[in-house]
């Protein structure tokens, strides 16, 4: 039997603290005028938690909000851990960053036998990296504008380097989404590119971090968290159906 499908309502997590105290209401009224909402989002420490995407859809996604906006990016490192049991031919999105200039800035994508990196001007394919079903995989992507070099690291294995978006620039205020591929800024989702599985430990830096730091991310040592996005202090918004769950020990 098919399980009933949850609606497309927006689930806003409990961390959005809604102040109910009457004494605060008048004061809040002014803030509401400025913010347009009673609820305000606060960054949360997500260590020990995972986002669960339990179905393919063209709706379910989590928007990750950077801790501060830069004037754009001329280099970056994106690291996260994912687990998926899906090997559908169409593949799936691991991470989608879009700007108002280009929706693939970058798109990090996985097939059963290869990884793809879509940048504004180029698409590059990475073969032969670890790619297993139902296993947590440590995944990092690096790019630097001055050299145009892009590289992937999966489970501590570094790929060869390829060329994309040399002398390019990633415009400020990118829209960062997991669970879906953005084909326009903040939207344009399709079920065939959605993600089904688990994602945790997302960090983004505005530079290429050292191989040593990537190893530390991968092997569970302490590392310097992302300065653009930090899993330990992350603001996010769930749309459609996705569950933020505590990772259970034994
Ligand atoms: C993790 O990797 C770093 C950098 O290569 C290394 O210094 C450290 O000893 C490693 N830790 C473990 C637990 O393997």
pLDDT value of position 51:
98
138 alpha carbon – ligand 1 mean position (Å): 14
Residue 88, pLDDT score: 86
Nearest CA to ligand 1 atom 4: 212
As annotated, the residues of the chain forming the CATH 2.60.120.200 domain(s) are 45-246
Mutation pick for ligand 1 pocket among 156, 212, 216 (CB with most ligand atoms within 8 Å): 216
Residue 198 to residue 62: CA distance in whole angstroms: 12
Provide the CB-side half-sphere exposure for 18 (13 A, CA). Answer: 7
Looking at residue 17, its pLDDT comes to: 39
Residue among 249, 80, 250, 99 at smallest CA distance from 179: 80
Residues of the chain scoring pLDDT < 50: 1-21, 27-40
Decide: 156 in ligand 1 pocket, CB within 6 A: no
Encode pLDDT of 141-170 as tens digits: 999 999 999 999 999 999 999 999 999 999
User: What pLDDT sits at residue 41?
Assistant: 63
CATH of domain 45-246: 2.60.120.200
pLDDT digits (tens, 9 = 90+) for 168-179: 999 999 999 999
Ligand 1 closest atom vs CA 220? 13
């Amino acid at each position: 039997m098919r399980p009933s499908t949850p609606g497309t309502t927006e689930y806003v997590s409990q961390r959005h603290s809604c102040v109910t105290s009457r004494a605060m209401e008048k004061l809040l009224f002014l803030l509401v005028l400025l913010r347009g909402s009673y609820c305000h989002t606060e960054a949360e420490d997500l260590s020990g938690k995972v986002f669960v995407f339990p179905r393919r859809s063209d709706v379910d996604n989590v928007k990750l909000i950077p801790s501060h906006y830069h004037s754009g990016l001329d280099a970056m490192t994106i690291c996260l851990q994912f687990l998926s049991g899906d090997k559908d031919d169409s593949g799936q999105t691991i991470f989608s960053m879009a700007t108002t200039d280009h929706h693939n800035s970058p798109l990090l994508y996985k097939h059963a036998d290869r990884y793809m990196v879509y940048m504004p001007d180029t698409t590059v394919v990475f073969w032969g990296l670890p790619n297993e079903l139902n296993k947590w995989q440590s995944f990092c992507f690096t790019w630097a504008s001055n050299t145009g070099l892009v590289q992937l690291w999966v489970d501590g294995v570094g790929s060869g380097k390829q060329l994309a978006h040399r002398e390019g620039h990633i415009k400020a205020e990118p829209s960062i989404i997991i669970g879906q591929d953005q084909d326009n800024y903040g939207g344009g989702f399709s079920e065939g590119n959605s993600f089904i599985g688990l994602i945790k430990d997302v960090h983004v830096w505005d530079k290429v971090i050292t191989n040593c730091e990537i190893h530390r991310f991968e092997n569970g040592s302490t590392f310097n968290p992302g300065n653009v996005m930090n899993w330990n202090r992350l603001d996010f918004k769930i749309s459609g159906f996705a569950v933020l769950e505590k990772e259970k020990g034994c």
